[in-house]
Amino acid sequence: MVEGLVEEVVGEMAGETALDLYAGVGLFSLPLAKRFGKVTAVESNPSAVHDLQYNAAEHGVEVEAQRMQAEQYLGGLTAAPEVIVADPPRSGLGKNVTKHLARLKAPKLVLVSCDPATLARDLGALTAAGYGLKRMTVVDLFPQTFHVEVVAELGLG
């Protein structure tokens, strides 16, 4: 089931630069690193960053891990990567992160959400900033419960 989620997020993407926000232990960072020249993973939890670095080494891929809040990292960026993947907590991206994403104008955003209500809020802010919803998929990782993951792919224009 998790493989299905990873495939929905990463799919056939490839390029030079990718950014994984709320990266955890590298669920999306590791497959992205096989398809992109440079992958930066941003995660605030020190244990998760340690495990991400271990997982990258075990899988023979290079991922630049940044231990900080997504908002802080995005605030320091002046140029957007080709793709930004974000899998925020249930509370969603929030106003400040969506403002940074709107400012950066990455050509492709892929949002993963476990809460359709906060995803709708974040999508509203991003579509108002010029992004269009290209694809949305529901992935049932927890059968026989009401919990689902939603993958939303956005592009400019």
Residues tagged active-site: 114
User: What is the residue whose two structure tokens read 């950066």?
Assistant: 104
DSSP 114: S
Using only C-alpha atoms, what is the Rg of the chain? 14
Rounded CA separation 43/25 (Å): 9
Q: Cβ–Cβ contacts within 10 Å for residue 18, how many?
A: 28
Task: Copy the structure tokens of residue 37.
Answer: 């020249």
Rounded CA separation 123/92 (Å): 10
In one-letter notation, the amino acid at residue 58 is E
At 28 the three-state DSSP class reads: coil
